[in-house]
Amino acid sequence: MSLLAMTWLVLGICKTIWKNTIPNNPSLNFVLFNTSLIYQIMKIITLHTDTDINQLYLLLHEKLNPLFHKQRQSELNFTIERKGESVEISLPSVYEGVLFSIAINGHELWITRNEHYVDDVNSLTVESILNDLFSNIAGDLGTDLVQEG
């Protein structure tokens, strides 16, 4: 087991113990909040082409929901928002918090995924759609998965 996986396991166990034993302690709630921010899953994809946050936002705003509707035969509509130098994808009617946050660093897309929904069918469908859209952006140059974990 990698060090990162072990760290996530330990943080998850601590989070569960703290939540179940001392739910109303403000200092522990602060620790849990900060642990939740750290406890995310990051994926880095290299596009090999220039893009900016506005182009990414417009692409996702235009294509994500229609592709999701077609693929899942569902009427769920994700919220796509530009927040500073990132794009966030959420579904407030179903999920607490942001499902995906995507930032651009040079030719890399830094994708942070909420760890609570990694095995959720809607989250997996969105991830699949994102991978296809990113491949389309890259064109013949393709994409490289730099890091996942």
CATH number of 40-148: 3.30.310
Q: What's residue 144's pLDDT?
A: 54
First to last CA, the chain: 12
Phi, psi of 82 (to 5 degrees): -90, 120
Instruction: Return the domain boundaries, the chain.
Output: 1-38, 40-148
Count Cβ neighbours within 10 Å for each residue of 67-76 and write b for 16 or more, e otherwise.
bbeeeeeeee
pTM: 0.68
Give the Cα separation of 110 and 104 in Å (integer): 6
User: pLDDT tens digit string along 33-91?
Assistant: 343 443 457 788 787 777 889 999 999 999 999 999 999 999 999 999 999 999 999 99
Tokens linked to 4: 């990162």
